[in-house]
């Protein structure tokens, strides 16, 4: 074994990057592999709630306690990813009073600051709440940007020497003498940054220890070494509204149920969710009734949702796990706790541990426990520092200066940029040339896009999750070609074209669940811009070559200017004005 | 007392304006009412007739030759080839557009780096035709993200254009903010000689003998021809604008030209107030226009609905269905809203074909296929049966059906 053990972490969601950061900070040699973009799996498909723990305060107090602890940690180390919106558990007249009281005492027992407010007081905080809301409990829920948080963790891991490979799918586990010794991985476009058109290839990566943090996909990795990991994936729908109808997280105060939360997230509000077990984390039905139920149920809390504009819907798959002997029938009964499965103890297969279950809010704590476990394997005693050292972007609060003047940005755009970049704002926005806005809906400037391209190669979906470009109301209608143009220069035109096509398809996919009213109108406009104005549906660069001579070559005034002006061929002046 | 006219046109886009201009030129007492900004501000300003067949065959060299082969329910089949030609004649008479010298489509460069087939193009775009073999220098502006000249040039090269094309990005002279609107550039080029001179100097510094210079569509607003010809004489080269997305000055210039044609022909128009309702059974007696909170009746002998499609909200939808909001005209559509679209971004989208159905005189039909009213016709995007984005037929259908609706309505007077 090398002096510095090499640990391979599979999975680029919140859990995987949390583990990678922790191990890298404890001076392990770390490689992280992710089959798609960072957040590709469940992390990129959540409602963005930073739990106060209130949701679990009655049924699962251990989880609730962990949540409030980690809620406080993330406010510290990831301030540029977190918006402390506060949360309300609201009670409608038909909701059970005793459950309301249980929620309140549960919060107290778990150390979650909670207070009762009247319906009127709740409406003073959130004027669009239904007029018949009885009362509510305030809790310190918040909103967190999962993309920014994961990218910051990966960046921190890299700063501590980790190798991070995205678009790299594990094809096999290497098992020698009954021990896991590494993986065979297939890179989509070679190792390093993803670039469209670059030949991919397989690589054998040997490691002293492997951590399987692939969540809902954990069973697939287990299968490669013949061990059973029975994750029970459960899907949930989330519907994105075009504006924030509320600025506080709104929870329905009742035991459990679908469609009971609204999370204000950046410029949008996200409605969630459902809980339904699925067989395959990549292939499950996405159904109309689920979207309809979000709106029809949550309008009982916020009536204006009935007529509001939704911009897209997406589904996420929870990587739920329970020990085989529990046997819950209903996925809502499966614990949200996480499990560390040491395959040496469990299956007689040394060299690998899987982590399954768990919640986004406690990703750091899970990372800490896994890293402790890995330390134990090597008899290494080094303390965890991830709760104390801020993530890149959250190091320095002096960023709250007037960036508008400093970077010549219009005020709302400057504010949005600095919120996203945190303490990296200086480094990213300090550019020589003009810094125009590329994505108007989300206020993303060229400098931010270029910064993201430097991190993610020719992958515009990776740029999107870093910057929010193309994630606003128009869903890429106005900015997709601009983003492709930002790639060009660094990358050749055919690469930019492939990345552009991929972005258009990805943006279309999620909108399909929001295609009525305003958003259908927007989709029709986008279609017109991309097909009518840009002719991208019949791009001659993609098809057979055209016979240009068969088309109109203009009228006879071409030897002068197009308008027939009399001009000297040497560029001399005719009549100026 | 109702405000009365012979023909009332509802909608101020290309279809409504063509209807009103055609009728006014025939001496009809016509009034046009429109609500919001028309979708021409989103339009490139190129006037396509037919670039591809509904099966995706194309680019077509001769759009007129392909019309008889279109499906029966296509609006062009209602109007007929001769009707389309007559309509384009009217358009050519009231605008300064080029392309009418031939039936053959032109291929024009787009800000997406492709070329697209179009039947008419504004003089400002004329020197850009891709079948001209003179070399091209595209010049973009650092602070304008909508037109990236080096990228567009590389894409055009990949599309196999028969000329050398290169792209360069320059800084616009002066002190505009990074996010300045296109109208600011246009205004400066129109009014400030120092800006024009600086602009010419910077273009010249990057040019190596190209005889054509392509620029973003910001070359002046009211006086755009003069701005362009001035640049041409200073540079000794043909200058053209590459049309781009909203807000599109070429689209807005076309709108201005048609409003002014309507004015000269004696038509009247008013903008900013929506038509919200109507009275009548077999015939529409009058419509109600909402003005500062009150509903004012507007009556006419004949009505033309030209309120646009899904983009312009002439056709609207909710979770339950697709509908026409003013007269509740029948709009045939799938019951399940997941059947309104295709899974591929450029797939065969049913929503693109949603709209009202008509008889051969463009009278709107009800669900049973009978005229909903004796005196209501439809033109342009509110019509169903064609996918203008895939076919590149939007402008042509608006002009042809606007013309046909006006002619048919005039005959009823």
Q: Is A361 a domain residue?
A: yes
Q: How confident is the model at residue A430 (pLDDT cuts 50, 70, 90)?
A: confident
Which chain A residue's Cα is nearest to B116? A535
Q: Is A418 a domain residue?
A: yes
Question: What number of other Cβ atoms are within 10 A of residue B5's Cβ?
Answer: 20
> A555 to chain B: which residues are within 8 Å by CB?
98, 101, 126
Q: What DSSP element (H or E) covers A220?
A: helix A218-224
A339-374 residue pLDDT tens: 999 999 999 999 999 999 989 999 999 999 999 999
What does each C-alpha distance from A293 to A239, A262, A358, B335 come to in angstroms? 10, 13, 26, 18
Q: Do A562 and B351 touch (CB under 8 A)?
A: no
Please check whether residues B89 and B124 belong to one and the same domain: no
Please check whether residues A95 and A116 belong to one and the same domain: yes
- Six token digits for residue A317: 């798959």
What span, in angstroms and rounded, lies between the C-alpha atoms of B381 and A270?
Answer: 33
Q: Is B263 a domain residue?
A: yes
User: At residue A179, does pLDDT exceed 70?
Assistant: yes
pLDDT of residue A575: 37
Question: What number of other Cβ atoms are within 10 A of residue A159's Cβ?
Answer: 12
Q: Is B105 a domain residue?
A: no
Please check whether residues A445 and A511 belong to one and the same domain: yes
Please check whether residues B49 and B152 belong to one and the same domain: no
Please check whether residues B173 and B308 belong to one and the same domain: no
Please check whether residues B79 and B16 belong to one and the same domain: yes
Q: Is residue B94 a contact partner of residue B14, using CB atoms and an 8 Å limit?
A: no
Interface of B with A in 92-131 (CB under 8 A): 98-99, 101-102, 104-107, 110-117, 123, 126-127, 129-131
> B148 to chain A: which residues are within 8 Å by CB?
482, 485-486, 488
Q: What is the CATH number of the domain that holds B27?
A: 3.50.50.60
Count of residues making up chain A: 577
To the nearest whole Å, the CA of B257 is away from the closest chain A CA by 18
Vertex A186 angle, CA A183 and A187, to 5°: 125
Tell me which residue in A437, A478, A517 faces B317 most closely, judged by beta carbons: A517
| Phi, psi at A185, each rounded to 5° | -125, 145
What span, in angstroms and rounded, lies between the C-alpha atoms of A160 and A156?
Answer: 6
Please check whether residues B195 and B274 belong to one and the same domain: no
User: Which one of B219, B242, B265 terminates a domain?
Assistant: B242
What span, in angstroms and rounded, lies between the C-alpha atoms of B211 and A294?
Answer: 59
Q: Do A516 and B337 touch (CB under 8 A)?
A: yes
pLDDT of residue A576: 38
Q: Is B180 a domain residue?
A: yes
The three-state secondary structure class of A387 is: coil
Q: Do A528 and B394 touch (CB under 8 A)?
A: yes
Please check whether residues A417 and A520 belong to one and the same domain: yes
Tell me which residue in A409, A505, A545 faces B345 most closely, judged by beta carbons: A505
What span, in angstroms and rounded, lies between the C-alpha atoms of A299 and A129?
Answer: 9
Cis-peptide, bond into residue B247, ω within 30° of zero: yes
A535 and B CB contact within 8 Å: yes
Number of domains in chain A: 3
A439-456 residue pLDDT tens: 988 889 999 999 999 998
B90 and A CB contact within 8 Å: no
Q: Do B98 and A436 touch (CB under 8 A)?
A: no
Please check whether residues B157 and B202 belong to one and the same domain: yes
B70-118 residue pLDDT tens: 999 999 999 999 999 999 999 999 999 999 999 999 999 999 999 999 9
Q: Do A571 and B204 touch (CB under 8 A)?
A: yes
Q: What is the 3-state secondary structure (H, E, C) of chain B?
A: CCEEEEEEEECCCHHHHHHHHHHHHCCCCEEEEECCCCHHHHCCCCECCCCCCCCCCCCCCCHHHHHHHCCCCCHHHHHHHHHHHHHHHHHHHHCCCECCCCCCCEEEECCCCCEEEECEECHHHHCCCCCCCCCEEEEEECCCCCCCHHHHHHHHHHCCCCCCEEEEEECCCCCCCCCCCHHHHHHHHHHCHHHHHHHHHHHHHCCCCCCEEEEECCCCCCCHHHHHHHHHHHHCCEEEEECCCCCCHHHHHHHHHHHHHHHHCCCEEEECCCEEEEEECCCEEEEEEEECCEEEEEEEEEEEECCCCCCCCCCEECCCCEECCCCCCCECCCCCHHHCCCCCCCCCCHHHHCCECECCCCEEECCCCCECCCCEEECHHHECCCCHHHHCCHHHHHHHHHHHHHHHHHHHC
Question: What does pLDDT average to over chain B?
Answer: 95
A7-62 residue pLDDT tens: 999 999 999 999 999 999 999 999 999 999 999 889 989 899 999 999 999 999 99
Q: Is residue A192 a contact partner of residue A456, using CB atoms and an 8 Å limit?
A: no
Q: Do B116 and A535 touch (CB under 8 A)?
A: yes
Please check whether residues A207 and A352 belong to one and the same domain: yes
A276 or A180, which is more confident: A180
Q: Is B106 a domain residue?
A: no
Q: How confident is the model at residue B175 (pLDDT cuts 50, 70, 90)?
A: confident
Q: Is A344 a domain residue?
A: yes
> A450 to chain B: which residues are within 8 Å by CB?
none
Please check whether residues A162 and A139 belong to one and the same domain: no
To the nearest whole Å, the CA of B300 is away from the closest chain A CA by 30
Q: What is the CATH number of the domain that holds B187?
A: 3.40.50
Q: Is B396 a domain residue?
A: yes
User: At residue A424, does pLDDT exceed 60?
Assistant: yes
Please check whether residues A409 and A486 belong to one and the same domain: yes
First CA to last CA distance, chain A: 81
> B155 to chain A: which residues are within 8 Å by CB?
493, 497, 541
Please check whether residues B268 and B395 belong to one and the same domain: yes
Domain, as residue range, for B363 = 3-99+251-412
Tell me which residue in A524, A551, A555 faces B351 most closely, judged by beta carbons: A524
Q: Is residue B351 a contact partner of residue A515, using CB atoms and an 8 Å limit?
A: yes
pLDDT of residue A194: 86
Query: Stretch A292-300: mean pLDDT, rounded?
Result: 94
User: At residue B211, does pLDDT exceed 70?
Assistant: yes
Please check whether residues A522 and A473 belong to one and the same domain: yes
Please check whether residues B257 and B216 belong to one and the same domain: no
Q: Is B131 a domain residue?
A: yes
Contacts of A373 (CB under 8 A, 6+ apart): A340, A342, A353
Tell me which residue in B58, B142, B317 faces A520 most closely, judged by beta carbons: B317
Q: What is the CATH number of the domain that holds A267?
A: 3.30.9.10
Question: What number of other Cβ atoms are within 10 A of residue B288's Cβ?
Answer: 18
What span, in angstroms and rounded, lies between the C-alpha atoms of B62 and A339?
Answer: 68
Please check whether residues A32 and A156 belong to one and the same domain: yes
The three-state secondary structure class of A138 is: strand
Contacts of B350 (CB under 8 A, 6+ apart): B333, B334, B339, B340, B341, B342
A570 and B CB contact within 8 Å: yes
What span, in angstroms and rounded, lies between the C-alpha atoms of B20 and A105?
Answer: 71
What DSSP letter does each residue of A265-292 carry, written as one string?
ETTEEEEE---EE-S-TT-----HHHHH
Q: Is A564 a domain residue?
A: no
Which chain B residue's Cα is nearest to A433? B142
Contacts of B105 (CB under 8 A, 6+ apart): A551, A552, B49, B51, B59, B60, B61, B62, B63, B117, B118, B119
Q: Is A393 a domain residue?
A: no
Q: Do B389 and A504 touch (CB under 8 A)?
A: no
Please check whether residues A23 and A119 belong to one and the same domain: no
Q: Is B394 a domain residue?
A: yes
User: Which one of B212, B242, B272 terminates a domain?
Assistant: B242
Please check whether residues A530 and A438 belong to one and the same domain: yes
What span, in angstroms and rounded, lies between the C-alpha atoms of A60 and A68?
Answer: 13
Contacts of A170 (CB under 8 A, 6+ apart): A10, A33, A35, A183, A184, A185, A221, A224
Contacts of A51 (CB under 8 A, 6+ apart): A67, A71, A141, A359, A361
Tell me which residue in B177, B228, B310 faces A563 most closely, judged by beta carbons: B228
A432 and B CB contact within 8 Å: no
The three-state secondary structure class of A560 is: coil
What span, in angstroms and rounded, lies between the C-alpha atoms of B76 and A492?
Answer: 41
B150-163 residue pLDDT tens: 999 999 999 999 99
> B154 to chain A: which residues are within 8 Å by CB?
488, 492-493
What span, in angstroms and rounded, lies between the C-alpha atoms of B332 and A201?
Answer: 51
pLDDT of residue A410: 53
Please check whether residues B261 and B218 belong to one and the same domain: no
The three-state secondary structure class of A164 is: strand
What span, in angstroms and rounded, lies between the C-alpha atoms of B217 and B221?
Answer: 10
What span, in angstroms and rounded, lies between the C-alpha atoms of B350 and B342?
Answer: 7
Query: Stretch A238-258: mean pLDDT, rounded?
Result: 92
Please check whether residues B225 and B318 belong to one and the same domain: no
B394 and A CB contact within 8 Å: yes
What proportion of chain A, given as a percentage, has pLDDT over 70?
92
B15 and A CB contact within 8 Å: no
Tell me which residue in A482, A516, A560 faces B146 most closely, judged by beta carbons: A482
Please check whether residues A177 and A238 belong to one and the same domain: no
Please check whether residues A440 and A504 belong to one and the same domain: yes
Q: Is B392 a domain residue?
A: yes
User: At residue A564, does pLDDT exceed 50?
Assistant: no
Q: Is A101 a domain residue?
A: yes
| Phi, psi at B339, each rounded to 5° | -100, 10
Q: How confident is the model at residue A573 (pLDDT cuts 50, 70, 90)?
A: very low
Q: Do B148 and A488 touch (CB under 8 A)?
A: yes
Q: Do A548 and B130 touch (CB under 8 A)?
A: yes
Question: What number of other Cβ atoms are within 10 A of residue B72's Cβ?
Answer: 7
B336 and A CB contact within 8 Å: yes
Please check whether residues B260 and B311 belong to one and the same domain: yes
Q: Is A455 a domain residue?
A: yes
User: Which one of B217, B242, B267 terminates a domain?
Assistant: B242
Q: How confident is the model at residue A508 (pLDDT cuts 50, 70, 90)?
A: very high
Helix axes A363-378, A61-77, angle to 10 degrees: 90
Q: Do A537 and B336 touch (CB under 8 A)?
A: no
Q: Is A443 a domain residue?
A: yes
To the nearest whole Å, the CA of B168 is away from the closest chain A CA by 11
User: At residue A517, does pLDDT exceed 80?
Assistant: yes
Interface of B with A in 226-245 (CB under 8 A): 226, 228-230, 232-240, 243-245
Q: How confident is the model at residue A529 (pLDDT cuts 50, 70, 90)?
A: very high
Domain, as residue range, for A448 = 401-538
Number of domains in chain B: 2
> B146 to chain A: which residues are within 8 Å by CB?
481-482
Q: What is the CATH number of the domain that holds A171?
A: 3.50.50.60
To the nearest whole Å, the CA of A538 is away from the closest chain B CA by 8
Burial of A285 (0-12, 13-18, 19+ CB in 10 A): exposed
pLDDT of residue A326: 83
Please check whether residues B226 and B264 belong to one and the same domain: no
């Amino acid at each position: 074994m090398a002096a510095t053990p090499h640990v391979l972490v599979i999975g680029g969601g919140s859990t995987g990057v949390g583990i990678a950061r922790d191990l890298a900070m404890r001076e392990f040699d770390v490689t992280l592999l992710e089959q798609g973009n960072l957040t590709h799996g469940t992390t990129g498909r959540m409602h963005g709630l930073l739990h106060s723990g209130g949701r679990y305060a009655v049924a699962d107090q251990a989880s609730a306690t962990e949540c409030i602890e980690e809620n406080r940690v993330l406010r510290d180390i990831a301030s540029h990813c977190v918006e402390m919106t506060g949360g309300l558990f609201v009670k409608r007249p038909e909701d059970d009073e005793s459950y309301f009281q249980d929620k309140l005492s549960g919060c107290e027992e778990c150390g979650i600051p909670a207070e009762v407010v009247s319906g009127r007081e709740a409406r003073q905080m959130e004027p669009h709440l239904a007029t018949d809301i009885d009362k509510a409990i305030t809790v310190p829920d918040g909103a967190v940007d999962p993309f920014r948080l994961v990218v910051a963790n990966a960046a921190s891991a890299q700063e501590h020497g980790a190798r991070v490979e995205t678009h790299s799918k594990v094809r096999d586990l290497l098992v020698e003498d009954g021990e896991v010794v590494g993986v065979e991985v297939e890179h989509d476009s070679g190792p390093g940054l993803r670039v469209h058109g670059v030949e991919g290839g397989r690589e054998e990566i040997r490691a002293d220890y492997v951590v399987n943090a692939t969540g809902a996909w954990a069973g697939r990795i287990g299968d490669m070494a013949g061990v059973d990991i029975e994750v029970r994936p459960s899907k949930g729908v989330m519907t994105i509204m075009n504006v924030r109808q509320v600025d506080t997280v709104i929870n329905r105060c009742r035991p459990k149920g679908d469609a009971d939360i609204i999370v204000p997230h950046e410029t949008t509000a996200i409605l969630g969710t459902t809980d339904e077990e699925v067989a395959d984390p990549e292939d499950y039905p996405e159904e109309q009734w689920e979207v309809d139920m979000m709106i029809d149920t949550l309008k009982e809390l916020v009536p204006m949702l009935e007529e509001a504009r939704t911009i897209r819907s997406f589904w996420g798959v929870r990587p739920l796990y329970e020990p085989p002997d529990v046997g819950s029938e209903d996925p809502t009964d499966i614990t949200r706790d996480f499990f560390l499965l040491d395959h040496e103890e469990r299956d007689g297969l040394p060299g690998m541990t899987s982590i399954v279950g768990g919640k986004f809010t406690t990703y750091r704590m899970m990372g800490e426990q896994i890293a402790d476990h890995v330390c134990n394997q090597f008899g290494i005693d080094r303390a965890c520092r991830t709760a104390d050292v801020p993530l890149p972007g959250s190091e320095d609060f002096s960023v709250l200066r007037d960036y508008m003047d400093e970077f010549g940005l219009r005020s709302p755009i400057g504010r949005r940029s600095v919120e996203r970049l945190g303490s990296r704002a200086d480094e990213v926005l300090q550019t020589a040339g003009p810094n125009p806005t590329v994505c108007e809906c989300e206020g993303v400037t060229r400098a931010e896009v270029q910064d993201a391209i430097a991190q993610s190669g020719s992958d515009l979906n990776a740029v999107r999750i870093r910057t929010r470009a193309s994630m606003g109301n128009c869903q890429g209608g106005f900015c997709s070609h601009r983003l492709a143009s930002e790639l060009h220069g660094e990358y050749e035109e055919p690469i930019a074209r492939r990345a552009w096509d991929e972005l258009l398809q990805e943006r279309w996919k999620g909108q399909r669940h929001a295609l009525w009213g305003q958003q259908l109108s927007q989709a029709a406009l986008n279609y017109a811009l991309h097909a009518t104005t840009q002719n991208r549906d019949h791009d001659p660069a993609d098809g057979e070559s055209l016979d240009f001579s068969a088309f109109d070559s203009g009228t006879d005034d071409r030897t002068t200017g197009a308008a027939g002006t009399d001009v000297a061929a040497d560029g001399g002046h005719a009549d100026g004005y | 007392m109702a405000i009365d006219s012979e023909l009332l046109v509802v909608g101020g886009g290309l279809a409504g304006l063509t209807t009103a201009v055609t009728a006014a030129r025939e001496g009809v007492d016509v009034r046009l009412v429109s609500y919001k900004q028309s979708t021409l501000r989103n339009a490139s300003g190129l006037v396509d007739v037919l670039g591809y067949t509904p099966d995706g065959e194309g680019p077509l060299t001769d759009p007129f030759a392909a019309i008889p082969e279109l499906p029966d329910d296509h609006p062009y089949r209602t109007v007929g080839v001769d009707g389309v030609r007559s309509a384009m004649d009217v358009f050519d008479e009231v605008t300064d557009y080029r392309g009418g010298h031939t039936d053959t489509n032109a291929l024009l460069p787009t800000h997406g780096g492709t070329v697209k087939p179009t039947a008419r193009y504004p003089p400002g775009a004329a020197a850009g035709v891709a079948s001209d073999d003179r070399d091209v220098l595209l010049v973009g502006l650092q602070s304008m993200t909508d037109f990236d000249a080096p990228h567009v040039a590389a894409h055009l090269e990949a599309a196999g254009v028969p000329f050398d094309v290169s792209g360069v990005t320059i800084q616009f002279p002066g002190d505009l903010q990074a996010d300045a609107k296109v109208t600011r550039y246009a205004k400066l080029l129109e009014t400030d000689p120092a800006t024009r001179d600086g602009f010419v100097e910077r273009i010249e510094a990057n040019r190596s003998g190209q005889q054509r210079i392509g620029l973003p569509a910001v070359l002046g607003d009211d006086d755009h021809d003069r701005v362009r010809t001035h640049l041409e004489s200073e540079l000794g080269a043909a200058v053209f604008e590459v049309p781009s997305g909203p807000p599109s000055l070429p689209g807005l210039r076309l709108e201005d030209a048609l409003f002014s044609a309507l004015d000269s022909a004696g038509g009247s128009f008013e903008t900013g107030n929506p038509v919200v309702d109507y009275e009548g059974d077999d015939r529409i007696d009058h419509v109600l226009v909402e003005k500062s909170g009150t509903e004012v009746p507007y009556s006419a002998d004949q009505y033309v609905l030209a309120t646009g499609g899904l983009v312009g909200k002439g056709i609207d939808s909710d979770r339950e269905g697709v509908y026409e909001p003013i007269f509740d005209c029948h709009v045939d559509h799938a019951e399940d809203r997941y059947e309104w679209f295709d899974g591929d971004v450029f797939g065969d989208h049913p929503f693109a074909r949603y709209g009202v159905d008509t008889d051969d005189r463009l009278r709107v039909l009800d669900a049973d296929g009978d005229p909903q009213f004796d005196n209501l016709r439809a033109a342009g995007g509110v019509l169903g049966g064609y996918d203008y984005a895939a076919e590149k037929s939007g402008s042509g259908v608006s002009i042809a059906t606007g013309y046909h609706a006006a002619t048919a309505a005039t005959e009823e007077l």
